[in-house]
Amino acid sequence: MRVAAIDCGTNSIRLLIADVDIPGTGTVADVVRRMTVVRLGEGVDETGEFSAEALSRCFAAVDDYAELIRRHQAEGLRFVATSASRDVSNREEFVQGVRDRLNPLFTEFTGPEVIRGSEEAGLSFAGAASVIDWDPQQKVLVVDLGGGSTEFVLGSGSSAQHAISTDMGCVRFTERHMRSDPPQETERSMTEFETLSILEDVAEVIPLHQTQTVIGVAGTVTTVTAHALKLEDYDAEAIHGAELDLDTVQQSVEDLVSARREQRAVMPFMHPGRVDVIGAGALIWGTILDYLNKVTEGRVSTAVSSEHDILDGIAISVASAQTSAAREQM
């Protein structure tokens, strides 16, 4: 079944058009996978609303995605909005703008779903679980490090058992703490301190000490991995499934955090929309891994990167719903 999934986050909006084999293996075969940095959450932490410029950028991307969905004849669509879209005062303007652009393709489409963090976490885990081959008995922690939020999901096999969403992300912490170029030591310390404080709260909900394998998803993690692998271009195949020891990851984090903006901008794997926020994102990722290494008493000594995440989880959910509806009509 060919379906379309859209994930609209704080920093970027992404599209996946995929053929999903729910009755068979449950595999997700990409037809189109796109990412556009629209910085929808720019300034939201301070103003509490989407700016007109951010909405304009977002709607332009949705127009492009609508054309791709039409061209590739997807049978179902799910649009999920996360983090920044949950609490803004002008959310209805965002919802209506998206509805106007996608309703002509799917008459049953009523607008984007602004989902809760717990569901976002579950979809992220389902996406990673669909493509990473691990021991079904092993405790796996999926960390989805976004622009405005970070989700932590602990589970085994394809089943998420504990999940939490936190108000921590590369855009949010750049605006809150890391405004110098390069960041000052006090700015780094504040970022690390707040990250650790949030991790302590997470540990009260999720037994992080049980983690045996950690998988990081989303652009911050894959960019840190691309730098660690010394890639001459952004190579998703090389990044996906890459398992790096923590010393290698931490060196990549340090390089990205300490680099000046013009140095980051010319890195061959760096997306232009990530140049300004990768420092905060990398520092969050490095702090998370150091914390996990300590609470597991060294058992977590590597980190796996995944190119497949919430988008894949959304696509699977669309295909599952369509398949169930078809069966009920039989």
- Verify that 188 and 282 share a domain, yes or no: yes
- Verify that 84 and 164 share a domain, yes or no: no
φ/ψ (deg, to 5) at 56: -60, -45
- Verify that 205 and 86 share a domain, yes or no: no
- Verify that 52 and 155 share a domain, yes or no: no
Helices 278-295/185-205 angle, 10° precision: 50
φ/ψ (deg, to 5) at 65: -70, -35
- Verify that 271 and 179 share a domain, yes or no: yes
- Verify that 287 and 144 share a domain, yes or no: yes
Contacts of residue 122, defined as CB under 8 A and 6 or more positions apart, other chains included, come to 153, 160, 163, 313
Residue 262, amino acid: E
- Verify that 98 and 42 share a domain, yes or no: yes
Burial class (CB in 10 A: 0-12, 13-18, 19+), 299: middle
- Verify that 16 and 151 share a domain, yes or no: no
Given 86, 117, 148, which residue is the final one in a domain? 117
- Verify that 84 and 197 share a domain, yes or no: no
CATH code (residue 37): 3.30.420.40
Name the domain count of the chain. 2
- DSSP bridge partners of 213: 140
- Verify that 73 and 142 share a domain, yes or no: no
Given 117, 149, 169, which residue is the final one in a domain? 117
The pTM of the full predicted model, rounded to 2 decimals, is: 0.78
Q: Does 177 fall in a domain?
A: yes
Q: What is the mean pLDDT of residues 156-184?
A: 88
What pLDDT shows up at residue 329? 60
How many residues are given for the chain?
A: 330
What digits encode the pLDDT tens for the residues 78-122? 999 876 677 788 988 999 999 999 999 998 888 888 887 777 777
What digits encode the pLDDT tens for the residues 177-212? 998 999 999 999 999 999 999 999 999 999 999 999
- Verify that 152 and 14 share a domain, yes or no: no
- Verify that 196 and 283 share a domain, yes or no: yes
What digits encode the pLDDT tens for the residues 297-323? 999 999 999 988 888 888 888 888 776
User: What is the residue range of 201's domain?
Assistant: 132-306
Q: Does 125 fall in a domain?
A: no
Distance CA 226, CA 121 (A): 24
Please check the confidence at residue 162 and state whether its pLDDT lies above 60. yes
CATH code (residue 200): 3.30.420.150
Q: Does 325 fall in a domain?
A: no
